[in-house]
Amino acid sequence: MFLSMSTISSLGVTQMTYGFIVFYRFHLMTPEEAGKAKEFWEEFGKGSWPAHLKLIGDYKHAWGSEWSGFLLIETDDPQSFFEFWPIFRDKTRWYIENTRTIIAIRRNAKDWM
């Protein structure tokens, strides 16, 4: 059974927002492969990125780590991320060597823990 947002609010329950930090490391690529990867990412972002996953940022460096960069994603429905991610990884595996994901729940201003 699904509850509407108004029903959830009337019960005094707040909706949780989930944050995903996805670190990624590129394969070594030729300039041609890098161009193809950039083109893929631009096209994918325009038409294939799910509306329910908000891409907060795509950071191209992660200084102090072995990662090439990271994505910062938010959603109110974490299941949507878990359904989307394997499909996305299959499409990017040729140029993304590895990923690591950290998941968190956004803290409300009134919460201290």
If pLDDT is split at 50, 70 and 90, which confidence band does 36 have?
very high
Residue 48 confidence (pLDDT): 82
Whole-angstrom Cα distance, residue 105 to residue 4? 21
Residue 13 confidence (pLDDT): 54
Q: Are 77 and 52 in contact (CB under 8 A)?
A: yes
pLDDT tens digits for 39-94?
A: 998 888 787 889 899 999 999 999 999 999 999 999 999 999 999 999 999 999 99
Higher pLDDT, 33 or 14: 33
Residue 108 confidence (pLDDT): 77
Question: Strand 54-59 to strand 96-105: parallel, antiparallel, or no bridges (unpaired)?
Answer: unpaired
**Is the per-residue pLDDT at 17 higher than 70?**
yes
